Amino acid sequence: MSAVVKQARLAFRPLHEEDLPVILTIEEAAYAFPWSLIIFEDCLKMGYSTWVLERDGCIIGYSIMSIAVGECHLLNLCVHPDYQRMGHGEMLLDHMLDLAQKHRAEMAFLEVRPSNATARRLYQNKGFDEVGMRRNYYPAHFGREDAVIMARSLV
CA 1 → CA 4, 6, 15, 41, 154, distances in Å?
10, 16, 42, 51, 50
User: In this structure, is residue 147 part of a structural domain?
Assistant: no
Which of 27, 48, 62, 123 does the annotation list as catalytic?
A: 123
User: In this structure, is residue 105 part of a structural domain?
Assistant: yes
CATH number at residue 104: 3.40.630.30
123 classed as catalytic: yes
User: In this structure, is residue 43 part of a structural domain?
Assistant: yes
Structural domain total, the chain: 1
Which of 54, 71, 111, 130 does the annotation list as catalytic?
A: 111
CB atoms within 10 A of CB 78: 24
Query: What tens digit of pLDDT does each residue of 67-102 get?
Result: 999 999 999 999 999 999 999 999 999 999 999 999
Domain that holds residue 51: 12-112
Per-residue pLDDT of the chain (155 residues; tens, 9 = 90+): 566 667 779 999 999 999 999 999 999 999 999 999 999 999 999 999 999 999 999 999 999 999 999 999 999 999 999 999 999 999 999 999 999 999 999 999 999 999 999 999 999 999 999 999 999 999 888 899 999 999 999 99
DSSP 45-106: HTT-EEEEEEETTEEEEEEEEEEETTEEEEEEEEE-GGGTTSSHHHHHHHHHHHHHHHTT--
pTM surpassing 0.85?
A: yes
Q: CB–CB of 29/61 below 8 Å?
A: no
